[in-house]
């Protein structure tokens, strides 16, 4: 029950931070930003569910060793952060066009998304899921219920997002990379997950590549493309 609770806390905390960041800039009476945030949540949830099913969920549905109850729980609970990035980004772009908002909002999202992901990883740690590969015992390995030592995949991702959270807030406070902070986050997370996936216990989809790595590569490309496009827009505005 801890994981759903932390997910709810994540929504409450990030929505509170979002409102506090948006209000001084845009005015508290503008409902479009609440709409954008809610659509982002919905898109992230749908994207997370889709990528999980496409990467791993369908395999578990065909696993004859799992009970029907386990399969249903997998479908209900299973989701992927990589899918949340892609679904959330697409949803925000759609929502902004819907309400006619043309200013960048990514910097604000870069300052709140890591909070939600860090809380989610605390839930993963408590639940014992998202394990790293088995390996010899070291001071940094995690021991599962069977006594096997694993690469600390969850703490590693928690630490990565903590670093990115600090980076995002520094950029916002110092006015660095305005309008590009979330794109940098996408690039960094895509590269991190591409490499880190080799140390996680996830089933391969193509050769030794998992579906999550394909999604991570898409995140990386999205960040690169949007960073380049935003840079060109800034140059045109300068002239």
pLDDT digits (tens, 9 = 90+) for 157-189: 999 999 999 999 999 999 898 889 999 999 999
Residue 215 has pLDDT above 90, yes or no: yes
Q: Are 117 and 57 in contact (CB under 8 A)?
A: no
Check residues 32 and 226 and name the one with the higher pLDDT. 226
For 89-103, what is each residue's pLDDT tens digit? 999 999 999 988 878
pLDDT score for 29: 56
Query: Could you tell me which of 89, 215, 123, 108 has the C-alpha nearest to residue 172?
Result: 108
The pLDDT of residue 198 is above 90 = yes
Count Cβ atoms within 10 A of the Cβ of residue 68 and give its class: 0-12 exposed, 13-18 middle, 19 or more buried.
exposed
Q: How far is CA 213 from CA 72, 203, 210, in A?
A: 25, 11, 5
- pLDDT exceeding 90 applies to what percent of the chain? 51
Q: What is the rounded average pLDDT of the residues 123-142?
A: 90
Average pLDDT along the chain: 88
As a whole number of angstroms, the distance between CA 120 and CA 128 comes to 12
pLDDT at position 239: 44
pLDDT at residue 26 above 80? no
Q: Which helix (H) or strand (E) holds 209?
A: strand 209-210
The predicted pLDDT at position 167 comes to 96
- Three-class SS of residue 204? strand
**Would you place residue 24 in the very low, low, confident or very high pLDDT band (cuts 50, 70, 90)?**
low
Q: Whole-angstrom Cα distance, residue 32 to residue 69?
A: 41
pLDDT at 37: 87
pLDDT of residue 1: 62
Poorest-pLDDT segment among 31-35, 110-114, 203-207, 226-230: 31-35
Confidence class for position 33, pLDDT limits 50, 70, 90 = confident
In contact, 61 and 71? CB cutoff 8 Å: yes
Structure tokens at 147: 């006594």
**pLDDT for 127 beyond 90:** no
pLDDT in tens, 38-82: 899 999 999 999 999 999 988 888 888 888 888 888 887 788 999
Note if the pTM is more than 0.85: yes
Following DSSP, what letter does each residue of 102-164 receive, concatenated?
-S--HHHHHHHHHHHHHHHHHHHHHHT-S-B-B----TT-EE-TTS-EE--HHHHHHHHHHHH
Distance in angstroms (rounded) separating the CA atoms of residues 48 and 82: 7
Give the pLDDT score at 232: 86
Mention every residue, 6+ apart, whose C-beta is less than 8 A from residue 2.
Answer: 123, 126, 127
Q: Of 45, 49, 52, whose CA–CA distance to 202 is shortest?
A: 52
């Amino acid at each position: 029950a801890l994981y759903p609770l932390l997910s709810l806390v994540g929504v409450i905390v990030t929505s509170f931070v979002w409102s506090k960041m948006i209000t001084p800039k845009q005015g508290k009476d503008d409902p479009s930003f609440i709409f954008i945030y809610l659509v982002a949540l919905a898109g992230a949830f749908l994207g997370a569910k889709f990528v999980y099913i496409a990467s791993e969920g369908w395999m578990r549905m065909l696993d004859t060793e799992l009970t029907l109850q386990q399969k249903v729980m997998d479908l209900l609970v299973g989701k992927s952060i990589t899918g949340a990035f892609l679904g959330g980004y697409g949803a925000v772009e759609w929502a902004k066009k819907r309400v006619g908002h043309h200013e960048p909002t990514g910097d604000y999202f870069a300052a709140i998304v890591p909070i939600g992901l860090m809380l989610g990883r605390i839930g993963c740690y408590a639940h014992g899921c998202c394990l790293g590969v088995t390996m010899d015992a070291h001071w940094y390995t995690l021991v599962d219920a069977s006594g096997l030592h694993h690469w600390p995949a969850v703490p590693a991702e928690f630490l990565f997002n903590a670093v990115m959270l600090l980076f995002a807030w520094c950029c916002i406070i110092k006015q660095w990379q305005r309008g590009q902070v979330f794109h940098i986050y996408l690039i960094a997370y895509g590269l991190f997950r591409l490499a880190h996936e080799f140390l996680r216990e996830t089933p391969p989809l193509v050769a030794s590549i998992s579906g999550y790595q394909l999604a991570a590569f898409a995140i990386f490309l999205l960040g690169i493309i949007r960073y380049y496009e935003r840079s060109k827009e800034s140059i045109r505005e300068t002239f």
